[in-house]
Structure 1
């Protein structure tokens, strides 16, 4: 029955594409179908399924999940308040007068607000409202505008404390715990802060590449941009917002704040500012709160459905099968990681980043970390692959969102041509991190990276410990 689980994964992809139903509904339906098959075949004992409620309850005891509604709330508030507009105007006013200045300013805005927006979709909405009209007025061709907004909306994925980074860090913590338990290594299990630190240098490299490419792309503009005129109020708002964002992001990256604390501080500050200025009252406030509850509910529903689905896969023995496949990949660690990243990349054609984190990562990453001890390196490579999935033609989530929000008729080939330099930079960075793991350990102390060498495992011992690792606890 192990192969049945792989068929169920394929069925999930087909269901999401062909039905148009939310991924949570498809996952629950396929998980139910798989459980029925397993019980009928005698592979799954019906009593074992009673472990699901306690598993879901334990899932929600994770304090890190408090960040989800807070980041959703911040994204909605940033879209309602004039913070993005003030920062963009200030960027254009400070940069040298050049056709490239609006593009660079838009890219910098994505890097600043992306981590606080909570999702790529929220970043696309905010950047489309603030940046796109001004780029059009400056004569930037539509394909270039679409490409800039799509890329800028994904920058927050790499900059802590983004929602994708938080969720992936939590998934990697669980996967690394399972791997360390299975192998008996004395590794220190990675935590959220480790993943934040590991992503800083690759994130900085990609941001620098994007700013350089934006400057080059600005040569297609038909005229010099007009100087942005800042009022005293806009200048003060931009200065306060910039200092606050840098302090908040820097505090999380350096370990002074936890991700949940940062999200709470940001959401409270934005909400207080909106109430004091009168921009969040009555119908507007009600709509923001309703949207926050709806989006948070969608994320939690997806998490619950994915947890149920992965439990069924483990009961069917699919996790054991995947572990044996990963352990049998010939070649070096780089080859094994590249194969697993390819699987994640293929999954991105039918699943978005959140679905990959909730469904694919818990299946393929634990056995990879049994084979490879460097969890920070693997985490950043997975993160970069997820970011690439947002921009992967033709169904990348950021691409679909930009085309849907801007509602401009742009030839897809022209769009991809404008996007190509950024995709090349992204893939170059992925290869750079793949072959130079040291980039994910810059600034890491010797104590953080210390571990005792583990004795090599025989194939029999490897399979035995893998089976122990994926075995579900008996229901009480």
Structure 2
């Protein structure tokens, strides 16, 4: 029995998580119990736990993971200011008259919200409360409507910027470095969040395309499932469409452009996004749009000019030109600051900032507590010999590297029925990723395959998070059976997406190799 203590520990973890006890405490509790048991049975060197403090310090000082709370704040501000509702209303009136038009609008809005908020729960709940009743009134099939809303909401996990990609970038970079050490390389390369954001762009858009094709084909084959919607509202004019779509698109370009262009780190770009979201919220809740536009333009111009022609006023050899440019930069900064302060005051008056900070702290603490507990779990698992067992098992699977990868993908898919993406990312992937990289798999391509697989965990019954979010927000005509039936075709489309990226690795590797 002592020889299988690591496997028993993993089984105990599954049972503890499924018991409904808070996840981080379940992980840490199992780790403590098996560390003590391993020490008592003489199969574990308990001094290994001396690395716990170092792991906690490493987590708190991790410059990659610091981007998570800022991106979450950016998404929370956009959610609380009801910008999603404006987008859904405009897109629904634009496409509603087409067969399947409401479904198309939901997928497109889901993609836009994914690239600007990255928060799955907020997107699914918003669309479940706004779009789903409209689809049902238009005569859409209830199961199909629920499936479209659930699936469009999960795009926030694969389309950057996303929390999943940030965590995966950290996990895969550590696995890549570990694999290089085991190969005898001591001048190791690291992987950046920007590389994973770039790698996920084309696969994310590929999934959006697959969803849209499915809706169009099903609308043509079974027109009664998605009739044209006569929702009794006039089509939006050009100004309405411009006002609803352009600000989120500009925000996406500002954040992702700064990261992919190498201008800013993910944390810096997330800060830009949070300020942009605040300005968008200010425009939505009554601050003079001209002031918001002027302030945003001033900040954009300041960022571009300061990058092209930086001025350091502390230098003693500055001439009149440098002082004049410095004064102009200061004026731009003041104009931008005034717009930000006006938006902040309005957002605080409407309690948007309070609610956004509360949801940010809740989500961030959940993620970091899980990562910290997972570090404890992995130390004990390694101490019990689990890492060697996993590596040995993957190396001896039939099919070589391809067989090992297929096994891991199926294992992660099955775990997605029961576990959250954070738990899988920080517990399972650090154990299997180094071995897969050593077998010759490209770490960035591997990361994208795993990201799409983990995104599917939001849709798979019985514990898919999107299913729970929609169940809470859906009207009473939508049953749990409708939701479960509705997501099945989209889980199949996710599998098609994985197969396409597997068969054509350049879909994930071309853009990062071009930009980095």
In 1, the alpha carbon distance for the partners of 2:515 and 2:485 equals 46
Which of 253, 262, 271 is matched with 1:264 structurally?
A: 271
In 1, the alpha carbon distance for the partners of 2:152 and 2:351 equals 31
1:213 corresponds in structure 2 to 214
Is 205-214 or 287-296 further displaced after alignment?
287-296
1:287 corresponds in structure 2 to 355
Cα distance change on mapping 1:189 and 1:293 into 2, 3 Å: closer
Matched residues, number: 447
Query: Map of 1:43-62 to 2, 5 A cutoff?
Result: 43-62=43-62
Check conservation: 1:160, 1:252, Cα contact below 8 A. no
2:251 corresponds in structure 1 to 244
In 2, the alpha carbon distance for the partners of 1:153 and 1:193 equals 23
Residues 238-287 of structure 1, C-alpha deviation per residue, up to 9 Å, x if partnerless? 33233332443344345444322222112122234445463542644333
SS at match of 1:357: helix
In 2, the alpha carbon distance for the partners of 1:150 and 1:447 equals 32
Is 1:427 paired with 2:495? yes
Query: Map of 1:200-349 to 2, 5 A cutoff?
Result: 200-218=201-219, 219=223, 220-226=225-231, 227-229=234-236, 235-274=242-281, 276=342, 278-281=346-349, 283-349=351-417
The TM-score with structure 2 as length reference comes to: 0.80
1:16 corresponds in structure 2 to 17
In 2, the alpha carbon distance for the partners of 1:441 and 1:225 equals 44
Query: Map of 1:428-467 to 2, 5 A cutoff?
Result: 428-443=496-511, 445=513
Check conservation: 1:160, 1:253, Cα contact below 8 A. no
Larger Cα Rg: Structure 1 or Structure 2?
2
Is 439-448 or 285-294 further displaced after alignment?
439-448
Check conservation: 2:258, 2:264, Cα contact below 8 A. yes
In 2, the alpha carbon distance for the partners of 1:65 and 1:190 equals 14
Cα distance change on mapping 1:5 and 1:201 into 2, 3 Å: same
Cα distance change on mapping 1:447 and 1:281 into 2, 3 Å: closer
Residues 109-166 of structure 1, C-alpha deviation per residue, up to 9 Å, x if partnerless? 1111124334322221232233223323323232222111110011122211111111
Check conservation: 1:84, 1:130, Cα contact below 8 A. no
SS at match of 1:63: coil
The unaligned stretches of length 5 or more in structure 1 are 449-476
Check conservation: 1:90, 1:230, Cα contact below 8 A. no
In 2, the alpha carbon distance for the partners of 1:29 and 1:35 equals 10
Cα distance change on mapping 1:269 and 1:129 into 2, 3 Å: farther
Check conservation: 2:35, 2:44, Cα contact below 8 A. yes
The TM-score with structure 1 as length reference comes to: 0.86
Could you say what the CA RMSD is over the residues aligned between the two structures, in angstroms?
Answer: 2.6
